[in-house]
Every structure is written in structure tokens, then in C-alpha cells.
């Protein structure tokens, strides 16, 4: 049931609202958080486009949905070709449809996740661009989706809700997608990116390629990048937006210069050092540390990309359970394509070491320890240490589990996560070699 309708007004003129939020949550603060992001997005978009102002004819709507099923039911007919999308902007209704991720009771403790706020900024960018250029979607994808992703990251950074591209799990994961295409010799030529001929790539790959094509041009060819947007968004310009940028697409660089750009783009991508891969759920940094938010139907997991290659090593910090239907947090070790080890911390019960084998979906319980004091009410210091012949787990400085095993079983990448329906925060994190 849609319970709240809020208005936000343009600076200095309370009679001209720019946004309204149709809120599916009982808390008014959800709408206020969405509006904060929307208003913060406007000046960033205008600066990127080289446009002085934006005065919509009426309030643009942000419609929040508590789950993906409801969002998809509302948008499937309008956007049939993107079943994976969690957000959609309708030019005709001047509405941005947004899935809140995850919409659990954790919202009361944390507010909207940074991932949801990032999506709001992305869709507000589309709302604004549609107002300025009705056929905005005729432009190459890097000028549409690439711009929106880049704006969203700048907005989140200004609000103190994200780390750098290489550090934030969701953005680092997109870097890894592009780097894997490069390493497998599947990355498109830069001229192909410019013209957005990406039909052979999947949804996630297309978005990542468009984003980093835009980021590359903005970083390495800022004047040329600005020319594209000035041509597309020139006030009162005649003709279709695509036709206004076509001369630049076809003639700004010679074939030889495009070849050099291609090599420079690949080198620029290769220089990036993404730290984390978000594989499931919502995993993001905030003032608490690393927050992992699992939906009701699947786990959350983020994997650090620096693998442990020798013994001993350790992972330590503080864990805090957040409100949820389930309360189980995970430290994952030896994360490989075919298996991993998992240390689970379950509030009200204790600690368990599992081995998961991907083939067949087998879970093997290796050891357990009841720890009655492990409650959800208080944060706990934890330490997981791998030695040559044993794995040890300590809580608040006291060893609670020791498992004899061959230490080499534990080498590889490590990760942090939460069971389906669980959420938690990992803070004061430290890891590395040595006891």
C-alpha cells in the first residue's frame, strides 16, 4: 500500500516542487532520504551537461517499491527488454521506478542502503535528461547509462556514502567485469563503444562498458567528452539528439587515432586495482564499516581480491548483528570456483566451520562450538587465524573454536557475508599474514 506522498522544492522557491516521492514504507524518513539524493543529483547533472538550470513543469515522481516483484509488475510492460533492471525511468509519466534493496527491517536501523541511493541518483539523472532532450535514449549508451552511473557515484561520494571506485564493492565488481573481458580478448574496440554496438554482451557487461567508456573520456579526453554533451543538450537545438552528435562520432577521431584511443583505454582499465567483488546481496561501506545486507531469499557475500598465498594469516575486526529475521554472519576462506570454507557466527548459538562444494551444492560441517554469550545485542571482536595445522576462531580475545586441518586448505581469497534474511556490519577490519 502506498502510504506517503512528499514534495521537495527548488532552492529558494517553495512554490515550485521538483520531486515527489510515492513511498511504500510507513516511515516518512524513507521518502526524505530519497529526496535528499534526488536534490543532490540535480547540480551534478547540470554541471556534467553544461546546462545552467532545470525548471520542470511539475514535480517528477520517485516511486519506491518494497520488493523486486512489485517493481517488475509495474514496469515489465514499459521495459520488457531489461528483466534484470531494478530501476526504470518513464519519459511519458515523468516517473522513476525504484526497487529498494533490501527492503527489510534493517531499513529502520540503517535507512535506505547506499545501493538504493545510487539507483535513485541514476534514475534522477534520466528524469532530468529526458526533460532537456526528449529523445535522450537515441544517444550512445555511454552518454546515457554511462553518464548516469558516473553521476550517481559522484553524488554518493558527496553525501559520504561511498568509497573510491576501486574500493566500493559494487563499483569494484564492475571494474572486474570489464577487466575480465579485456583479459579474455572479448572487450570491444573503442570505436565500437563510442557507437554503442554492444549487442553481443550481457546486461551487466553493457552497463559496465558504458560507464567506463564515459569515465575514460571524462578523465583522459575531457574537452572532447564535453563537446559530445554540448552538442546533444544544446538549448533549443534542431533535429534529433543522435544526429547532432553523429558528426563527432564519425569524424572527431581518425581511424589511427581511434586505434591509439583503444590501446590507451585498455591500459587505463588495466591500471585499476579493484579490491572487492560483490557476488550476492548488498555489500557497501558506510560510517559503521562494511555493511552486508542479505535478502530474504539469498545470502550476501563480498570477496576480497587479494588472495592469501602463505601461512599463517588472519582476519580480524568487530562484528555487529543488525535487525533481521535471521542473524548469522560469515567469514569465507579459500574462496575458489569449486569450493570455499565458511566460518558462521550465529547469534544466540555459536560458531560453525563449514566446507561448501559448488558441484552438487554440498555443505559439510567440519566443527561447531556453542557460545551462549554470542548475542545480537552487542558487537563482538572476532579473529579467525589459519596456521599450518589448525584454524582457530576467537571472540573478544578468547579462543572458542580450534579445528585441526591442513592449512593449505584455507589459502586463497577471503570474504565477508550474511545468511539469507540476515544483515550485519564488519568494522575495524584488518587482515594479513602472520599470527
DSSP string, 102-113: T-STHHHHH-S-
pLDDT score of 7: 54
pTM comes to 0.93
pLDDT score of 295: 87
The span from the CA of 184 to the CA of 200, in Å, is 15
Average pLDDT for residues 281-287, to the nearest whole number? 91
Strand segments (E) across 236-386? 276-280, 282-286, 289-293, 300-304, 313-322, 328-335, 339-346, 350-357, 362-370, 380-386
Which range (6-20, 298-312, 347-361, 421-435) has the least confidence? 6-20
Residue where the block lists cell 519519459: 91
- Beta-strand pair 95-99/60-65: parallel
Q: Of the candidates 155, 202, 200, which has an alpha carbon nearest to the alpha carbon of residue 174? A: 202
Average pLDDT for residues 102-131, to the nearest whole number? 91
pLDDT score of 211: 97
- Do 23 and 91 fall into the same domain? yes
122/280: higher pLDDT? 122
- Do 339 and 210 fall into the same domain? no
pLDDT score of 5: 53
- At residue 182 the predicted structure's pLDDT band, cuts being 50, 70 and 90, is very high
Which range (237-241, 336-340, 417-421) has the least confidence? 237-241
- Do 115 and 218 fall into the same domain? no
Instruction: Indicate if the pLDDT at residue 105 is higher than 50.
Output: yes
CB 89 within 8 A of CB 126: yes
- Do 121 and 191 fall into the same domain? no
Contacts of 89 (CB under 8 A, 6+ apart): 95, 96, 97, 123, 126, 127, 130
- Do 290 and 429 fall into the same domain? yes
Domain boundary among 132, 156, 190: 132
CB 189 within 8 A of CB 213: no
Contacts of 309 (CB under 8 A, 6+ apart): 411
- Do 251 and 290 fall into the same domain? no
The span from the CA of 203 to the CA of 207, in Å, is 6
pLDDT score of 27: 81
At residue 428's C-alpha, the angle toward residues 176 and 37, to 5°, is: 60
CB 121 within 8 A of CB 156: yes
pLDDT score of 426: 97
Instruction: Indicate if the pLDDT at residue 4 is higher than 70.
Output: no
Instruction: Indicate if the pLDDT at residue 222 is higher than 80.
Output: yes
pLDDT score of 8: 53
Domain boundary among 274, 297, 327: 274
Domain boundary among 209, 241, 274: 274
- Do 290 and 263 fall into the same domain? no
- Do 162 and 81 fall into the same domain? no
Instruction: Indicate if the pLDDT at residue 9 is higher than 80.
Output: no
At residue 424's C-alpha, the angle toward residues 423 and 429, to 5°, is: 150
CB 381 within 8 A of CB 366: no
Dump pLDDT digits (tens) for 332-379.
999 999 999 999 999 999 999 999 999 888 999 999 999 999 999 999
pLDDT score of 12: 39
- At residue 101 the predicted structure's pLDDT band, cuts being 50, 70 and 90, is confident
Instruction: Indicate if the pLDDT at residue 301 is higher than 50.
Output: yes
What CATH number is given to the structural domain containing 371?
Answer: 2.60.120.560
- Do 172 and 259 fall into the same domain? yes
What CATH number is given to the structural domain containing 35?
Answer: 3.40.30.160
pLDDT score of 11: 41
State how far the alpha carbon of 11 is from the alpha carbons of 15, 130, 190, 318, in Å: 10, 21, 40, 42
Residue where the block lists cell 554541471: 47
Dump pLDDT digits (tens) for 366-402.
999 999 999 999 999 999 999 999 999 999 999 999 9
| Grid cell digits, residue 364 | 559439510
- At residue 238 the predicted structure's pLDDT band, cuts being 50, 70 and 90, is confident
- Do 285 and 332 fall into the same domain? yes
pLDDT score of 327: 94
Backbone phi, psi, residue 123, to 5°: -70, -35
Instruction: Indicate if the pLDDT at residue 323 is higher than 70.
Output: yes
- Do 110 and 171 fall into the same domain? no
- At residue 15 the predicted structure's pLDDT band, cuts being 50, 70 and 90, is low
Dump pLDDT digits (tens) for 22-80.
988 878 889 999 999 999 999 999 999 999 999 998 999 999 998 889 999 999 999 99
Instruction: Indicate if the pLDDT at residue 407 is higher than 80.
Output: no
17/285: higher pLDDT? 285
Q: Of the candidates 382, 395, 388, which has an alpha carbon nearest to the alpha carbon of residue 410? A: 388
Strand segments (E) across 141-209? none
The span from the CA of 148 to the CA of 122, in Å, is 5
Instruction: Indicate if the pLDDT at residue 254 is higher than 50.
Output: yes
Boundaries of domain holding 358:
281-433
- Do 257 and 291 fall into the same domain? no
Write down the mean pLDDT value for the chain. 92
The count of domains in the chain is 3
Amino acid at each position: 500500500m502506498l502510504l506517503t506522498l512528499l514534495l521537495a522544492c527548488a532552492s529558494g522557491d517553495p512554490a515550485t516542487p521538483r520531486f515527489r516521492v510515492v513511498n511504500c514504507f510507513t516511515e516518512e524518513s524513507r521518502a526524505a532520504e530519497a529526496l535528499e539524493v534526488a536534490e543532490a543529483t540535480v547540480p551534478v547533472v547540470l554541471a556534467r551537461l553544461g546546462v545552467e538550470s532545470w525548471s520542470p513543469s511539475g514535480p517528477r515522481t520517485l516511486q519506491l517499491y518494497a520488493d523486486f516483484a512489485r517493481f517488475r509488475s509495474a514496469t515489465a510492460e514499459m521495459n520488457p527488454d531489461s528483466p534484470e533492471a531494478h530501476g526504470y525511468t518513464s519519459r511519458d509519466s515523468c516517473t522513476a521506478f525504484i526497487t529498494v534493496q533490501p527492503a527489510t527491517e534493517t531499513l529502520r536501523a540503517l535507512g535506505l542502503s547506499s545501493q538504493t541511493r545510487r539507483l535513485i541518483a541514476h534514475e534522477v539523472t534520466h528524469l532530468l535528461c529526458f526533460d532537456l532532450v526528449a529523445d535522450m535514449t537515441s544517444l550512445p549508451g555511454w552518454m546515457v547509462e554511462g553518464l548516469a552511473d558516473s553521476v550517481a557515484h559522484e553524488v554518493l561520494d558527496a553525501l559520504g556514502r561511498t568509497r573510491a571506485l576501486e574500493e566500493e564493492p559494487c563499483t569494484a565488481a564492475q571494474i572486474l567485469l570489464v577487466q575480465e573481458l579485456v583479459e579474455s580478448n572479448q572487450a570491444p574496440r573503442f570505436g565500437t563503444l563510442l557507437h554503442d554496438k554492444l549487442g553481443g554482451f550481457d546486461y551487466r557487461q553493457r552497463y559496465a562498458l558504458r560507464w567506463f567508456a564515459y569515465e575514460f573520456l571524462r578523465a583522459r579526453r575531457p574537452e572532447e567528452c564535453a563537446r559530445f554533451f554540448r552538442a546533444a543538450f544544446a538549448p533549443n537545438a534542431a533535429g534529433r539528439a543522435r544526429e547532432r552528435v553523429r558528426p563527432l562520432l564519425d569524424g572527431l577521431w581518425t581511424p589511427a587515432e581511434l586505434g591509439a584511443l583503444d590501446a590507451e583505454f585498455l591500459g587505463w582499465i588495466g591500471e585499476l586495482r579493484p579490491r572487492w567483488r560483490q557476488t550476492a546481496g548488498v555489500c557497501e561501506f558506510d560510517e559503521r564499516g562494511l555493511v552486508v545486507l542479505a535478502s530474504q531469499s539469498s545470502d550476501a557475500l563480498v570477496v576480497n581480491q587479494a588472495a592469501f598465498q602463505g601461512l599463517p594469516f588472519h582476519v580480524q575486526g568487530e562484528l555487529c548483528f543488525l535487525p533481521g529475521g535471521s542473524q548469522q554472519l560469515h567469514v569465507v576462506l579459500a574462496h575458489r570456483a569449486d569450493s570455499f570454507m565458511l566460518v558462521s557466527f550465529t547469534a544466540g548459538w555459536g560458531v560453525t566451520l563449514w566446507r561448501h562444494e559448488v558441484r552438487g551444492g554440498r555443505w559439510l560441517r567440519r566443527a561447531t562450538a556453542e557460545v551462549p554469550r554470542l548475542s545480537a545485542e552487542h558487537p563482538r571482536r572476532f579473529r579467525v587465524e589459519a596456521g599450518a595445522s589448525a584454524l582457530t576462531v576467537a571472540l573478544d580475545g578468547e579462543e572458542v573454536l580450534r579445528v585441526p586441518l591442513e592449512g593449505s586448505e584455507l589459502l586463497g581469497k577471503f570474504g565477508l557475508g550474511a545468511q539469507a534474511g540476515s544483515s550485519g556490519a564488519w568494522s575495524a577490519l584488518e587482515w594479513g599474514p602472520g599470527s
